[in-house]
Chains A and B, each alone.
Chain A
Amino acid sequence: QDLPYSDGKKYTLGSVSVSGNTTFSEQTIVTYSGLRKGKQMTIPGEDISNAIKKLWSSKLFSDIEIFITKIEGDVAHLEIRLSDLPQLNELKINGIKKGKKEAVINDAGLKKGTKVTENLITNTKNFLTKKYKKEGFYNTKILINTIDVKDSIETARVNMVVNIDKGEKVKVKDIVFNGNAVLSDKKLRKAMKSTKKINRLRILKRSKFVDSAYQEDLSKIIDKYKENGYRDARILSDSLIVNNDNKTVSLHINVNEGEQYTFGDITFIGNTVYSNEFLSRYLRIKKGDTYNGVLLQERIADNTKPDAIDITNLYQNSGYLFSTINPVEVNADDNVIDMEIRISEGKPAYFNKVSVVGNDKTNDHVIYRMLRTRPGQLYSKENVVRSVRELGQLGFFDAQEISPNFNNPNPNEGTIDMEYSVKETGSSQIELQGGYGGGGFIGTLGLSFNNFSIKDIFKKDAYKPIPMGDGQKLALRLQASRFYQTYSFSFSEPWLGGKKPVQFSTSLSHTRQFAYNPLTRNADKSQNFNITGISVGLAKRLTVPDDYFTLSQAVSFQRYDLNNYNISSLFTFGDGYANNFSYTVGLSRNNTRIDPIYPTGGSSFSATAKLSLPYSLFDGVDYKALKEDREQAIIDQDATKLGEIDQERYKWLEFYKINFKADWYTEIVKDLVLKPSVEFGFLGAYNNDRGVIPFERFFVGGDGLGSYSLDGRESIALRGYPNQSLSNQDGGTIYNKFSLELRYPITLKASAKIFALGFIEGGASYNSFRDYNPFSIKRSAGLGVRIFMPAFGLLGIDFGHGFDPLPGETVKNGWETHFIIGQQF
């Protein structure tokens, strides 16, 4: 019944009834519609249409109609007729893999219970078609059917079937250029980074056609022209022709190259700090060069690299934080473009306040002393970058989340506040293990705190859960089994006394080893071998040649004490002792950045010398005679005599040892890091008659983990071979190693850092300098992965293939698996 609006009469609303296929109660629908009984309303009028609109907007009903059922005087009775929208009951998707279905359901909003409308079906269809087109399936066909469900439940429900026919991927058969004279077809095709024509030989890049990528590539063509001075180049038209096979398309691109431009005069305006001449040299663009807008922009401000050599950084690094640089074209006659580079230098900016926020655990003094940006100092971008790097290297903060923020910039006064925002990360590690090995139970308890505060150990409220925040390192380790016990303790403070970056470190250790009693199968405590060691060291950061250098010195003492212990391979005597008192001096340089777990640049090298006193010079023993006596004793097989002589030789160990190690890190492409490294070590004697000691030697091969060792040996990692297998039983006195490692990160989040690596390496140890041949090495290659989690430290596994035979064998060693704990290769 169509009634004109203006003819509306006023009625009082009587009853409202509801009919139609709905599961909602009458009262709910009436209330929702807003048609209150007794309401004064005009029919036809706004009230009715509003009621319909309201019901529609609930998105629960379809076919909504409102009728007048009866009119009694000025009382009108209404009826609402509507039916519920069907709900989605079951969804079936055909044509794609099971794993992909979940994503489609989520993206298209096809959850169970969704109200199914025509709109939903159309949207889903469009969405899926678009989605697959984007992936290169140009012939995608989508078919959606709905089937009503008829069962005892009264709610209207439908099952939906979505048939997806992706068809074949559309590939690019040919790209044809028209109008290009200066740049060849090949060059233009190369400029198109993601749209490539079919080529069986190219395996890294797909040749499928994706429209969005194609549009991007069209602008890349223009960029290519711009780089070559054709700044008027444009694409006149481009067309896509679907070939008859329906699987490939051909692209036709018409370009208009325009004319080539060259740089004219480049003048600088507004520069007072740097001369025109200096700036033009810095710009490295001359008059007459082919016009290249991209390059010009890069030389003025390269946004891709924070430490690029460009004019912006030139100013930024010398304090001109407020400087702005604008290149302006002033003349373009005869295809020659005159540039004016307008520089507004502003005042040089000085740091006013420098602060750190987010240090919930680490004390201020530990952080502020590391910062290279100080109040009152001239602003320098370089120093900011370096401060961030060095804070990251402390290991107390999440290196990926340190951010330098500039606050309160004041161009008039020339001041800026600097705030470093840090996020603390767990830096303590606990190791607790127990297990069977070596004939009995072995228990290990290890604690290492990397940000300890020793001055707070007697403060009760500092235990949250342990006193932290002074940047000190404290490690405790206890290991015990029936046959041996080891206790060790170490502590280091990076700024001794808080005045200078002089690191103080000390360590104490004690090991007790008991002989195996074959009768009781137990430890024989009367036969024992004890080692007690103490060392104290200082390391100082140098300023010359540059401030990445560190000079370290240490004094260490170790005492070996044997009681009726006749089974050591090291000693020819069972009762006696040996003392190892030595001085170590080392020079190292480390500018690796940024993340200490995953450095992406810089290098580190260290050279150390460990020396004992030249006792043989002044102790008055005739070692030549002793050597002869010893040789005689060996011939005579006189063990007692030999023991006596060796006791004399080992009373104070006399030796010198030189180590050298260098690593480089280079980022080849984003995050992919190449790490070459070299190592060398040499152990010598001052007095050849006294001989090279059997302690402190090098053992090459395996994972390089410091296996439990009594004799100060150095384990040198060489993957692809069993542990310490490449040196003879006594160890080598000289070794070298070369390796090349390629690393790629899987994740670098603070909670877990994971990276994969591939390596080739080679190394060997030699018995004496006479045997030394740096190229006669054992080679290997392999793959591995490393996982760093703050609570566990570094864990990893490597698979290495040894290409050379072990000493005394003839076939190559083959594959070895290495587990890496806590140590960095």
Chain B
Amino acid sequence: CSEYQKVLKNEEIAPKFKMGEALYNEGKYAKANKLFAQIVPNYRGKPQAEKLMYLYSNTFYKTKDYYVAGYQFERFASSYPKSEKVEEAAFLSAKSYYMLSPVYSKDQKETVEALEKLQAFINLYPESQYSTEANTLVQELDYKLEKKAFEIAKQYNKIAYTSTELEAAIKSFDNFIFDFPGSSLREDALFYRLDSAYKLALNSVEYKKQNRLKTAKEYYQAFIEKYPNSKHIETINNMVLVMDEALKNYSTKS
């Protein structure tokens, strides 16, 4: 360790680079990062800078400082567009942003940002060895946004106390279905939209009931056509029986 301290305090830059590289190879990224940070300004514009900046960026990535890693890799990619590492750096930059994306139930600013970066990477290097992974990450982030919208809509269904929440659920699921056409949650979304419409219709005042029952039936049709073998099939078949029963009143009256 004392050797490290000596180099750290030393004025000369060459030993720092050398030792930093050695530490990096040993996997001691935090220490390497400290050394690199001292010499980055000295090497600016010199031929060794390319390698140094790559290693330096990677120490941030390895020490999970993803904010800085994302930025440093981005800078590397724009400063050394001819480097053989540029593709990897561009990918790691985008992946750093991916790492910052929080759980779906919190603000998704970082998720949106990561999606943009990853998409930019895929567009730039469509043949890249990383593109498979990049696509997986994009899917994962896309799913996060879907999940968020889905859970918010579902909560309206869950907390339904008055018609307001059920209407909110229907509206939100409508938006969800429109916004995420290929979502894996689509089946559930259609189901909960039907469920909300069903509850809304049955608890309606008389003069609104018929129309709402009809809407719910439409949602039922939309669901059954798309997912005839759904796991929800039993539940919705029960719903439709109840609704048909309720609708009978109106057909006999009119």
Contacts and interface: CB of A to CB of B under 8 A. Distances in A.
Do A and B belong to a common assembly?
yes
A356 B105 CA distance: 11
Interface string B107-151: 101000000000000000000000000000000000000001001
A353 B159 CA distance: 18
B159 A377 contact: no
Interface stretch (A249-257, A305-313, A359-367, A812-820): A359-367
B35 to A, nearest CB: 28
Contacts of B164: 374, 377
A375 B149 CA distance: 12
Nearest to A375: B171
B51 interface: no
Interface in A361-411: 361-365, 368-369, 374-377
B168 A353 contact: no
A369 B170 contact: no
Contacts of B156: 368, 374-375
B152 interface: yes
B64 to A, nearest CB: 11
Contacts of A359: 106-107
B111 to A, nearest CB: 12
Contacts of A374: 156, 164-165, 167-168, 171
B105 A364 contact: yes
Contacts of B152: 364-365, 368
A362 B106 CA distance: 6
B38 interface: no
A375 B167 CA distance: 7
Interface in A329-361: 351-354, 356-361
B151 A364 contact: yes
A361 B103 CA distance: 10
A500 interface: yes
A498 interface: yes
A236 to B, nearest CB: 60
Contact of B159 (A358, A361, A376, A499): A499
A470 B81 CA distance: 46
Contact of B107 (A358, A368, A375, A376): A358
A364 B159 contact: no
Categorize the interface residue count of chain A: 20 to 34
Interface residues of B, number: 22
A469 interface: yes
Contacts of A498: 155, 158-159
B175 interface: yes
A377 B168 contact: yes
A216 B66 CA distance: 56
A368 B109 contact: no
Interface in A468-486: 469
Given A364-B148, A364-B151, A376 B171 contact: yes
A361 B105 contact: no
B207 interface: no
A499 B158 contact: yes
Contacts of A363: 103, 105-106
B172 interface: yes
B162 to A, nearest CB: 9
Interface string A201-242: 000000000000000000000000000000000000000000
A435 to B, nearest CB: 39
A352 B109 contact: no
A352 B159 contact: no
Interface in B165-180: 165, 167-168, 170-172, 175
B250 interface: no
A194 B221 CA distance: 73
Interface centre among A374, A469, A498, by most B CB within 10 Å?
A: A374
B15 interface: no
Nearest to B104: A364
Given A374-B168, A376-B168, A376-B170, A353 B161 contact: no
A500 B155 contact: no
Contacts of A500: 159, 161
A607 B91 CA distance: 62
A414 to B, nearest CB: 13
6 contacts: A351-B171, A361-B106, A364-B105, A368-B152, A368-B156, A369-B155
Given A376-B172, A377-B164, A500-B161, 9 more contacts: A351-B171, A353-B175, A358-B107, A364-B155, A374-B156, A374-B168, A375-B168, A376-B170, A377-B167
Which 3 residue pairs across A and B have the least CB separation, nearest first? Answer: A376-B171, A374-B168, A375-B171
Interface of A: 351-354, 356-365, 368-369, 374-377, 469, 495, 498-500
Interface of B: 102-103, 105-107, 109, 148, 151-152, 155-156, 158-159, 161, 164-165, 167-168, 170-172, 175
